[in-house]
A and B are shown apart, each in its own frame.
Chain A
Amino acid sequence: MSGLFQVPWSDYRSDLLDALWRTVSYTVVSFVGAVLLGLAVALLRLSKAWPARAVAAVYTEVFKNVPLLAIIFLTYFGLASAGIRLDVFTAGCLSLVVFYAAYLSEIFRSAIGGVHAGQTEAGEALGLGRAGIFVHVVLPQAVRQALPGTNTMLVDLLKSTSLLVTVSAAELMSEGRLITSETFRALEVYLVISALYFALCYPLSQLLLLLERKVRAGVPLSPRRRRRVRAARALLAADLPTAADRKEAVA
């Protein structure tokens, strides 16, 4: 065992930090893009116009049933051979966006469709417009529904950035391959690379679980809601049960 760690890791520290940063960049940019595109596709699938629904359905089915690696090769090598030369960051993000948007659109569609029709009616009866109903009534409830699946996809996307090693995207996995070719210590290097992925993903998924729990418990997260609830608490001070009341009720 004493011979396991022989790579001069301090020489690679700045390269590894760069690679780590690139992995995070791929993840953040691709995830934001995939959420936006996924939401757009989900809304198309819930549209009343059948051509819109058809386009969205075809999109979803195509990208759900083609491997991510094939999509990466198509956008980086395939498009290049057709004269559309994308740099590796653009091609990598594009691949991840179109692939994950397909999955996210399914999650969003069922979350939005799962909001009770009575909620929209209650919004209408209160004189809220279509946009107001979507933003203030449907979307917050859909987010609550969609959060667990979406969070899984985010962690999955982070791990999938490692596939970009095939186009030398200079992210963590590519850096691992580089160090291996210089040191010939595959076991040691890939153990360290795996540990780095774990160090990114585990805290992220724990954080997302915490967020899920808070949202489910109705904790106000936006500054506006927090201000409103705080102001309401002050106005309701005389009405709300005090700690002493609650103790009495339990006793």
Chain B
Amino acid sequence: MTEPVTTAKTAPVARTEAVIRIDGLSKSFDGRLVLDDVSLEVDRGHIVSVIGQSGGGKTTLMRCVNLLERPDRGTVEVAGEVVHADGRTVCRDLPRLRRTVGMVFQKFHLFPHLTAVENIVLAQRKAGVPEPDALERAVALLRRVGVAHRGLALPDQLSGGEQQRVAIARALALKPEVLLFDEPTSSLDPESTREVLTVMRELAADGMTMLLVTHELPFAREVSDHIVFVDGGRIVEAGPPQEVLDRPAQARTREFLSSYGDPS
């Protein structure tokens, strides 16, 4: 392959530069507080996993990063630029912000009227990538996630695992600085889950920066630099996987983990 498919890791490992910095974030829907003074950082090349019960605010937190959700208070900083502060969108160029941040959804959301390869080409063309380059990159990405043999299939002709891998390729197409994964395996059977986690493991090994909302605790333990346990819209506990998963300091964390049985 002539071209590196993921974002090249330009920063030296020692330098801790936050790609995402969230500070004092609050958000409510119809008077119900779903995020309450949440702060979080994701350094370049790091993987942060957010765990917690459904409805606890994990997904909302993640959607605030690319402003699919607008927080009421607090600041959101992406790649060194404040994009949202105190309930106001500071970012003037939302499309550019969103090209910096790739997102993978629980329900894939592939464009059903386009073939797999066209799904990956569309946003590149709109971002000004010339057609031959966009196609070449789409094909390279399809190979990388192991779905090239299905490149001309429509989404509903693909298995769930194939669809999610195409969705990952689509999110990578614009060479984002960070990838957001919103419960990427929650709609998948075990076989498909394994396929998707394999791709994500490879991305992790390549140094991709990732923020991940997941219920796959063993996977989170394996790849994460940092685990954040969110409950009732607040961060209850955060730290390296060995601490949060093996020696949780908070009773609420222990209670949550016990519902998974043995977390390892």
The interface of chain A, by Cβ under 8 A from chain B, is 116, 118-119, 121-122, 124-129, 132, 136-137, 140-141, 144, 218, 225, 228-229, 231-233, 235-236, 239-241
Contact = CB atoms under 8 A, between A and B. Distances in A.
B169 interface: no
B63 to A, nearest CB: 9
Interface in B136-181: 136, 138-139, 142-143, 148-149, 151-152, 154, 170-171, 174
Nearest to A128: B126
A239 B143 contact: yes
B149 A240 contact: yes
Given A232-B135, A236-B148, A141 B113 contact: yes
B131 to A, nearest CB: 7
A137 B111 contact: yes
Given A127-B99, A141-B113, A229 B122 contact: no
Contacts, number: 106
Contacts of A116: 109
Interface of B: 66, 68, 94-99, 101-103, 105, 107, 109-115, 117-118, 121-123, 126-127, 131-132, 135-136, 138-139, 142-143, 148-149, 151-152, 154, 170-171, 174
Contacts of B113: 140-141, 144, 218
Contacts of B121: 228, 232
A245 to B, nearest CB: 9
A127 B111 contact: no
A118 B98 CA distance: 16
A236 B151 contact: yes
Given A126-B99, A144-B113, A239-B148, 8 more contacts: A121-B68, A121-B109, A122-B110, A125-B68, A128-B122, A229-B115, A239-B149, A241-B149
Nearest to A120: B109
A115 to B, nearest CB: 10
Contacts of A118: 105, 107, 109
Contacts of B103: 125
Contact of B123 (A127, A144, A229): A127
Nearest to A218: B154
Contact of B135 (A122, A140, A144, A231): A231
A119 B156 CA distance: 14
A127 B148 contact: no
A111 to B, nearest CB: 13
Nearest to B180: A125
Nearest to B93: A127
A137 B123 CA distance: 11
A144 B117 CA distance: 20
B107 A236 contact: no
Nearest to B121: A228
Given A233-B152, A235-B136, A228 B143 contact: no
A229 to B, nearest CB: 7
Contacts of A124: 66, 68, 94, 98
B180 to A, nearest CB: 8
17 contacts: A116-B109, A119-B111, A122-B111, A125-B102, A125-B171, A127-B94, A127-B174, A128-B123, A129-B95, A136-B122, A141-B112, A144-B113, A232-B139, A233-B152, A235-B139, A239-B149, A240-B148
Nearest to A121: B68
A150 B116 CA distance: 28
Contact of B98 (A127, A144, A239, A240): A127
A122 B105 CA distance: 8
A128 B148 CA distance: 25
Contacts of A228: 118, 121, 131, 135
B135 A128 contact: no
Contacts of B138: 232
B152 A229 contact: yes
Nearest to A116: B109
Nearest to A235: B139
A235 to B, nearest CB: 5
Given A118-B105, A118-B109, A126-B98, A240 B151 contact: yes
